Structure 1
Amino acid sequence: MDPLTRAETLQILSFMGVEIPKNTKLPGDLLDKRLQDALNAAQNRDNLPITPPLDPETTKKWPVRLNPPERESLRKKVWRGSMEEAQNIIHARETLGEYRRGLFQDPFWDLRQTMMNLGDDIDKGLKWLTIEDPDHQLFSINVRLLPTLQIDFGTPGIVVLYRAFNRATVLEAIKWIQNQGALHGVNKPGLNRTIISASPLEAKLILKLLEVNSKLLSPHYNPPRDSFEEEFKVSILLPIGPLGFSDLGRLSNDPGCAVCGKERKSRCSQCQSVSYCSVACQKADWPTHKQTCRSLKGGRWCTIPFRVCPPGEGGQPKPRSTRLDVNHPQPWTDADRTWPHEDDPPPPNIHGDKAFLVKMQAPLVVWAYPAFLVYDRQHSFGEVFFSAQDGLEVYAEFMEEVQGPRGGYRGGKMYRWARRTGERELTVCLDKEPTTEIKW
């Protein structure tokens, strides 16, 4: 198959939640690196005990699932989700009685479903499979499943031999399928071939992921090959899930020009929220930026102080459910289990004087403290709080806003533009809803 085009790379990054302008002038190699970094983050690579090169022959193998009722399935172990997805599923089941999401609409979501199918095939004892377009006409990725590794107590690593075929090489693909059927018993119960359907874009994404992950394995690892596998490559697949807040912020953030990434020389005079290297880039970005610009212009900005912990909770145990990042490393540290002390240093300002989106979570009934939870998508704040104790009149205005027609989410939370104006202070555009798509 042909490699991902520039437009397809941008499309996949968008589905992953990474915001890069469609008219970006970022060089192709930097755009490709952004996708590689996004795939690594989606696999939680930085928090896994993997030190390349990994030798599958000496690495501990994942336990074989001999008795399904007594051992959790690999299908479940390869799934990674987020709290937002769980809430969407619960809400759909409450209103519709089921949760459905269409195939071939989001290649990143489809990739995660394919990973579950792989886990299910391994649970069933299958040795090989093919990934094909729905009409079985355009392409095929033939895969032989090698031993699954135990990366850590909850993370399997599926080692595979694979090769992509197209119409020109379809006869070679068929010979391999026939040979696998003869070797592994195509008609034996539990060993029949699985065909996983994929869109062309998902197939390209799968091949990109396999290419990225092949670097994890030792170049000296050369598993035994069956007939017709001379040109097959070896790689490893890890559980893959949605990007966490900090990863989304890091991958979406560009310290330079909003269009091309070069050194910034000027800001948008209307909203001061984006920077450019030239007038040409500013004009090129206007169709994308104008909604944000207009949503900031003329808004009422309110200055609020913030705390690094809920009122009276400094140094106290913190419920685990407050952690917001999907890929938080394990095991948890003492700092993760307790709130900071009230006099601890405030979080650093990574935004400068640039406007950025914050989520403001209204206090729940079960909370013992009246305070908004505030954080940005980069999670650069950690979790900070705007308490009623620090300005009852302004706090009441924020509560009225979140519960009003511009609030939403059943009065539970709202998104607003903000700027950092002090070490422990924000100014928030209270009465203007962001008109940009919220990818949180």
Structure 2
Amino acid sequence: MEEALTRQEILHSLYSMGVELPPATKLPDEALNSRLDDAIKSCQELPDILPSPASSTLRITSLGDWPSGRLKVAKAIDRANLGEVAQNSMLNPELQGSGVDVLGDLRYIVHGFADNWDQKMKAFFLNDPDDQQTLTIALRIVHIKRIDDSTPVLTVLYSTYTPEAVSLAEAWDDEQADPATGQPPTYMKTTLIQQKALLRILKFNSRYVPANFHPDRSALESDFKVSYIFPVGPLSFEALGKLNLDTGCAICGSRTVKKCSQCYSVGYCGPECQKQDWKNHKQSCVSVKGGTWRTIRVSSCLPGTSGMFASDMNQLASTRRPFGPMTQVDGTSPPPNIHGSRVFLIKLQFGSSHLYIYDRKKSMKCFFVKDNTNREVFDEFLVEMQRSPRVMHDGLKMYRWAKREGDWDLSVCLDKLPLETIRW
């Protein structure tokens, strides 16, 4: 039985995380796997939570045990962002995933492990909901340590069984039964792609296991692998911006040579793919060339804030760290330009006397401040932001196409809406 995700399953998994690549992308398998690894790292917040550099191993033996009775592991392991909380659509751990939302399903499965541990159950079988038993995962939680007061890490032993090895699975099942009650391991119904996605995360996380770390195991677990399970949550704003960058031609995923000259919202490798996509694209194509462009002078910070410390907050920010790291404001250097002369997407947010402007990756963050020299232009932007029936976000935000005209000048297409799906 093939346990690895197929190419299409990788694309499906990335899409469910918010990373949109053309279905027929020509990105090589190595590049797709690398992008999935980056997504796995980000959805577990590994660069932030590991006590040592992400490239090194995790010395699990030096971490303290998770304090029993203080905070249930199932509560501590759940992750959400501000947008989920605001919409009251936070992951419901009682609802089993369908296989459509791979990331959501993984969050459900991880919550299930933690919830059962809280109920003194530590052994699991994950198998097909239709009892086809094409693949079964046996997993046992060895112990749960704490990286910090709100971050548990599960050390697990796991193996896979095919129908041909049913006798071994049954023997392990008998071994893990509670000696006092005869209670067998917990059975979790999971689709094949859910199992394969979990195995992918376990394989990825195994790189952080020290070579000399050998947890206690029974004879039936001699071939079991050891790995960690960290909390799994939605991708952050920064991660989505990075992973959705350079997705290639809208049809085949090859290197983009040109964008649609009418709307600039899609790119192609050449005229053949552009012609092939026109039937789908023409319904949403809006003439940016006929739009009203305004060139504005921007600044790196608000007046009087240079040298202060600040942080950003958005709907994709974690509820655990909504404000992110504090950084010192530099008002003397122009915003970095990673786009060159290309058109790119920006978000504009209204403040009392300014517009906060940034690109999808937040490589460029700047302000358009209302003063005596630009009142009319500033008011134009405000009117456009609140224009009915196109008003979005209570008239406080809008997305537009822009291009750099110099270090401090930004040209913005004022009155044409981008019609692409915006992962922001």
TM over 0.5: yes
Give deviations 1:103-129, integer Å, cap 9, x for gaps.
313111111122222222233332212
> 2:101 corresponds to which residue?
106
> 1:366 corresponds to which residue?
none
- Rounded to whole Å, the distance in 2 between the matches of 1:81 and 1:225 is 34
> 1:346 corresponds to which residue?
334
Residue in structure 1 matching 2:370, options 379, 388, 396:
388
- Rounded to whole Å, the distance in 1 between the matches of 2:96 and 2:306 is 45
- 1:409 and 2:393 are equivalent in the alignment: yes
- Rounded to whole Å, the distance in 2 between the matches of 1:100 and 1:77 is 16
Residue type of the partner of 2:337? N
> 1:12 corresponds to which residue?
13
Give the match's secondary structure for 2:61.
Answer: coil
Residues 8/284 of structure 1: CA separation in 2 closer, same or farther (3 Å cut):
farther
Offset, 1:398: 1.7
> 1:131 corresponds to which residue?
126
Give the match's secondary structure for 2:86.
Answer: helix
- Rounded to whole Å, the distance in 1 between the matches of 2:179 and 2:287 is 63
> 1:326 corresponds to which residue?
317
Segments of structure 2 that go 5 or more residues without pairing to the other structure are: none
Of 294-303 and 119-128, more deviation after overlay is shown by: 294-303
> 2:42 corresponds to which residue?
41
Offset, 1:428: 1.9
Residue type of the partner of 1:103? G
> 1:303 corresponds to which residue?
295
Contact map agreement 1:148 1:158 (CA 8 A) in 2: yes
- Rounded to whole Å, the distance in 2 between the matches of 1:397 and 1:100 is 48
Offset, 1:217: 0.8
> 2:25 corresponds to which residue?
24
Residues 308/323 of structure 1: CA separation in 2 closer, same or farther (3 Å cut):
farther
Residue in structure 2 matching 1:361, options 328, 349, 355:
349
Contact map agreement 1:304 1:425 (CA 8 A) in 2: yes
Residue in structure 1 matching 2:181, options 184, 187, 192:
187
Offset, 1:235: 0.9
- Matching of residues 201-350 of structure 1 within 5 Å: 201-254=193-246, 266=258, 268-271=260-263, 277-280=269-272, 282-283=274-275, 294=286, 296-316=288-308, 318=310, 322=313, 326=317, 336=326, 340-342=329-331, 344-350=332-338
- Rounded to whole Å, the distance in 2 between the matches of 1:436 and 1:25 is 21
Contact map agreement 1:145 1:158 (CA 8 A) in 2: yes
- Rounded to whole Å, the distance in 2 between the matches of 1:12 and 1:187 is 39
Residue type of the partner of 2:81? S
Offset, 1:62: 2.9
Contact map agreement 1:26 1:259 (CA 8 A) in 2: no
- Rounded to whole Å, the distance in 2 between the matches of 1:290 and 1:349 is 31
Residues 227/405 of structure 1: CA separation in 2 closer, same or farther (3 Å cut):
same
Offset, 1:213: 0.9
Offset, 1:205: 1.0
Offset, 1:242: 1.8
- Rounded to whole Å, the distance in 2 between the matches of 1:87 and 1:330 is 16
Offset, 1:380: 0.9
Of 19-28 and 74-83, more deviation after overlay is shown by: 74-83
Residues 169/394 of structure 1: CA separation in 2 closer, same or farther (3 Å cut):
farther
The structure carrying a bigger helix percent of its residues is 1
Offset, 1:214: 0.9
State the superposition RMSD in angstroms. Answer: 3.4
Residues 121/174 of structure 1: CA separation in 2 closer, same or farther (3 Å cut):
same
Aligned-pair identity (%): 37
Residue type of the partner of 2:163? R
Give deviations 1:246-279, integer Å, cap 9, x for gaps.
2222222229767667666555444556665544
Give deviations 1:368-399, integer Å, cap 9, x for gaps.
x42122222211124x2222226221221222
Residue type of the partner of 2:300? V
Residues 352/275 of structure 1: CA separation in 2 closer, same or farther (3 Å cut):
farther
Residues 186/22 of structure 1: CA separation in 2 closer, same or farther (3 Å cut):
farther
Give the match's secondary structure for 1:246.
Answer: helix
Contact map agreement 2:79 2:233 (CA 8 A) in 1: yes
Q: Provide TM-score, normalisation by structure 2.
A: 0.85
> 1:95 corresponds to which residue?
none
Residues 75/329 of structure 1: CA separation in 2 closer, same or farther (3 Å cut):
closer
Give the match's secondary structure for 1:23.
Answer: coil
Contact map agreement 1:59 1:150 (CA 8 A) in 2: no
- 1:377 and 2:360 are equivalent in the alignment: yes
Give deviations 1:335-383, integer Å, cap 9, x for gaps.
8265x253x21221111222222222223xxxxx42122222211124x
Residue type of the partner of 1:185? P
> 2:52 corresponds to which residue?
50
Residues 257/137 of structure 1: CA separation in 2 closer, same or farther (3 Å cut):
closer
Contact map agreement 1:353 1:421 (CA 8 A) in 2: yes
- Rounded to whole Å, the distance in 2 between the matches of 1:57 and 1:102 is 30
Residue type of the partner of 1:172? L
Offset, 1:160: 0.6
Contact map agreement 2:79 2:318 (CA 8 A) in 1: no
Offset, 1:431: 1.6
- Rounded to whole Å, the distance in 1 between the matches of 2:151 and 2:277 is 42
Contact map agreement 1:23 1:285 (CA 8 A) in 2: no
Contact map agreement 1:265 1:278 (CA 8 A) in 2: yes
Residue type of the partner of 2:113? L
